[in-house]
Structure 1
């Protein structure tokens, strides 16, 4: 047995959906505005997970240009039936206000790593779609229904008014067409805000799992059951199954939105999202992550956590040959391709905008860091509280609207940007810009640093929990630390309009290039290095 520490998928990995095929488990997680859409991981022991596929990988599968921050791919559901995988997902195109634009799609493939069919639009009346395959051969489509009206009376501004319940309808998997009438099968428990539905069948009961309580501190996993897929559903007497709401000392906060699976040995495991706020700061820079819990069953057929109570366990014992280690990812473009840990924003970068050439990755500048359309930005998840990230670039801008460098990014209103640009009086310079939860840039240095007119520049970010420092080195020189220590907790779910109920991603680190003149001036990157450290190991 090995002691396994939660989360099992660290860093931004929310809304897990799990399925087992033979001896292999698969987890699909939300990616929101990050591209490609949906990350699917595989494991044979529930401990060690490898990225297997990112299926929504071209514009025929997914186009999120224009989607606001924290929109895009919400809550995918991965299932398996008759030798085929099915993936349901939402491409959310509006979040703020009373209305949601939430087209839901289904796609399928013979293997997770293989070719996925063009997504079929199923409906748009809510989000978090799910597919249940019954033992009688029928399949059912579920989603929460978004009700833009004031359900509790006009001018009722409570968030509960929008959550209209969980809808179920039979679906033809071959065509993606819904069959017959839909039925509202669950209006929620007293916790309310029901979303993220999944149905499984166990013995004579259909078990409905939903997320409730919103995405903040009151988030939960709720279970109900019925003898018919159409209900009525009885809420479990020990509701919720898991929640951190009443566990102020738990390391794992905001536990909710889960799915479960049985092992080949008949054990039941729950995957759910959670967050690990910075100590003493209460801000979740890594967003919502995926955790694992063992589930037991009472004699009368209700699930409960093996660890006891309702708060999520931080550790559990599992059979595993090895445990995950800290990541040390070094990329040198003279010998490597860009790893699939990197994402772009909202769409795949065109071949004439991002390509390798003579030992460099060439990235042509596009729109600003505030754009919801076409940015030239590539980044990977932060997956540890302590890490360093280094880039080497060749960039000789000729205009102040041309910039390239290293970015610590949460969304278009929360970032720190160490970049090379041009100043009309000083020539090539190094500067830092930041955005702390609003639309306005700030410049924490008194003045930019003058660089040699040509030559490679190395840039580094070092993150130690809530502290960020920037460093640079010119070709042939030594590392220089910039004279400032920045508040890294800015890049968190909790900061900004709506807090954790409206900020759904997590901190990324990577590189980017802008040319606001529209001429697509390029930057050339030769080395990327992401390295994690345990506490007090950061150099």
Structure 2
């Protein structure tokens, strides 16, 4: 029996919404302040996942100018009905300013997952994590958590709301009903509604999104409730099991296979060994469900029991049996790794979909593949702490140990010109290796560190001449070092040693994304300097 090791989407892939259409499976994930918004993968077997769409790629669909770190796109819901994909999403405008949150929710549709996607329909702002349920009588219902600012001094999660959605009016209609208060775990969010064998099921995240995270289940014969709790809630949680590899498990969604098997996609975190620091962010894993008395349970791995020592097994297995094993895997006797090394070239007509930028639709004058063919040209943007106009292109860190390299051509003439390689979490926690200018030394390399808003820069390293420079980053689990080379062969290690933990969800307060590495260009003089990157290589170590 072949089993797939979790996570199936490593690195920052939070809040998975799983869907089956025909024989194909889709997962939509949160992207927060990263652009384009929402990321969708497709698979035939739940083993290999191909990135097929980032629907919110135009300003008409998503405007995040000025969004703070970990604002933006929270917990999308992808569904299918009437020959259309329905995508529901929240564009969070504020989240950590005390008792208040600003959480407008929207709906867009498309007949193909690749688009085009319709102009967004505004739904409501009463809370976040909206989800659309298509009942078998043709009616459609929106559920979302409610945020109650009056509950100052405690958690403002006050239950799950239900309201009908009219496709004719393109609006919510009818009364708003609170149908699910959540269990005693508290902080109920991330709701999804399903129907099976005459029962309505509500799956909801609880416990916050850290190590107490969980997912509870309720069921009812009536859509509006009352919902009875699962006799062994939570259905899923890693809490109380520090020995397992997949921590922080929760925020899940479910789909059935054509032959009736049930699978649960959920978020989880893998902390650095001996720590609670999740540098890779919240990732997507999958487990199979089994049904007993019309209640779902996590299917135990071979040799394990559902009720060990009388307690229900609700912590996730390290791997799962996929619904389909393609012949290519059966012959090899193994599945491919979830991540692989890759060298990105910039000699095509489009930037590889692995790369994300921050907050805004890409301006072709800022991100250009044509101003110098064969190169990615970045026009200098705002500072590394700006929420408005950074010029930065980065990809997820998907492995604890990796190497990143880029070849850069850049002719700075001011200390306000900087370009190079970054390793970052957000504006307050990031590391930069920058080629810049010094009035006495000419071109120099400087390492800049931002650690919980404390900024430092290190002694300049002269870079003679005006030719290309190779920049590198090597990360070994809990630490990293920048390096540079004048010829791509002989490398010099730069100080200091960089702590990976600084780029975790847990460092310096709560964050929701994960570590990225990539390329940037800064020009705080007049936004005209250009940096040219010939390639970017990501190598799994």
TM-score (norm 2): 0.94
Q: Matches of residues 8-87 of structure 1 in structure 2 within 5 Å? A: 8-87=8-87
Say yes or no: does 1:275 pair with 2:269: yes
Give the match's secondary structure for 1:490. helix
Give the match's secondary structure for 1:489. helix
Q: Matches of residues 83-482 of structure 1 in structure 2 within 5 Å? A: 83-96=83-96, 97-150=98-151, 156-159=152-155, 162-298=156-292, 300-307=293-300, 308=306, 309-318=313-322, 319-321=324-326, 322=329, 323-325=335-337, 326-334=339-347, 337-356=350-369, 357-438=372-453, 440-443=454-457, 445=458, 447-475=459-487, 478-482=490-494
Show the counterpart of 1:526: 534
Runs of 4+ in structure 1 over 6 Å off: none
Say yes or no: does 1:514 pair with 2:522: yes
Q: Deviations over 1:444-501 (max 9, x none)?
A: x3x110011300000000111111011101147621122442211210001012xxxx
Q: Deviations over 1:389-417 (max 9, x none)?
A: 10111111111111000000110111110
Q: Deviations over 1:109-129 (max 9, x none)?
A: 001112110111111111000
Displacement of 1:520 in angstroms is: 2.5
TM-score (norm 1): 0.94
The runs of 5 or more residues in structure 1 that have no matched partner are 151-155, 534-539
Change in CA separation of 1:455 and 1:174 when aligned onto 2, cut-off 3 Å: farther
The runs of 5 or more residues in structure 2 that have no matched partner are 301-305, 307-312, 330-334
Q: Does the 8 Å CA contact 1:218/1:243 hold for their aligned counterparts?
A: yes
CA–CA separation in structure 2 for the residues paired with 1:31 and 1:148: 25
Displacement of 1:281 in angstroms is: 2.3
User: Which of 492, 512, 515 is the aligned partner of 1:504?
Assistant: 512
Change in CA separation of 1:429 and 1:174 when aligned onto 2, cut-off 3 Å: farther
C-alpha RMSD of matched pairs (Å): 1.3
User: Greater shift after overlay, 166-175 or 130-139?
Assistant: 166-175
Q: Does the 8 Å CA contact 1:410/1:491 hold for their aligned counterparts?
A: yes
Displacement of 1:187 in angstroms is: 1.0
Displacement of 1:271 in angstroms is: 0.5
CA–CA separation in structure 2 for the residues paired with 1:29 and 1:170: 24
CA–CA separation in structure 2 for the residues paired with 1:294 and 1:519: 52
Q: Does the 8 Å CA contact 2:288/2:321 hold for their aligned counterparts?
A: no
CA–CA separation in structure 1 for the residues paired with 2:239 and 2:373: 54
Aligned residues: 518
